[in-house]
Amino acid sequence: MQEELKELIVNILRRHRGKAFGTLLGLFVGLCVLVFGFFQTAFVALCGLFGLFIGVKLDDEEDFWASLQKYLPERFQRW
């Protein structure tokens, strides 16, 4: 029984990886909203996305500040 369940889960993850990941992510976000509230969850998600942005730029060996200036209004850009 346990081996069959493991085989079923592995099969689902192989054939429907995106759907399984999306479902788990949606359940996790929904649980976070219920436990912590919408704004705290949104803040943590925004911080995570900002960290991802920084990480991608560092992995690509791009200048982080130059990349960030493309997204900021003119009044926040360096002279």
Task: Encode pLDDT of 46-55 as tens digits.
Answer: 999 988 888 8
What average pLDDT score do residues 11-36 get?
A: 91
- Name the pLDDT band for 68 (thresholds 50, 70, 90): confident
- Please say whether the beta carbons of 55 and 67 come within 8 A: no
- Please say whether the beta carbons of 55 and 63 come within 8 A: no
Please tell me the pTM assigned to this model.
0.61
pLDDT for the residue numbered 32: 94
Break the chain into its structural domains and give their ranges.
Answer: 1-36, 37-79
User: Six-digit token pair at 1?
Assistant: 């029984």
pLDDT for the residue numbered 28: 94
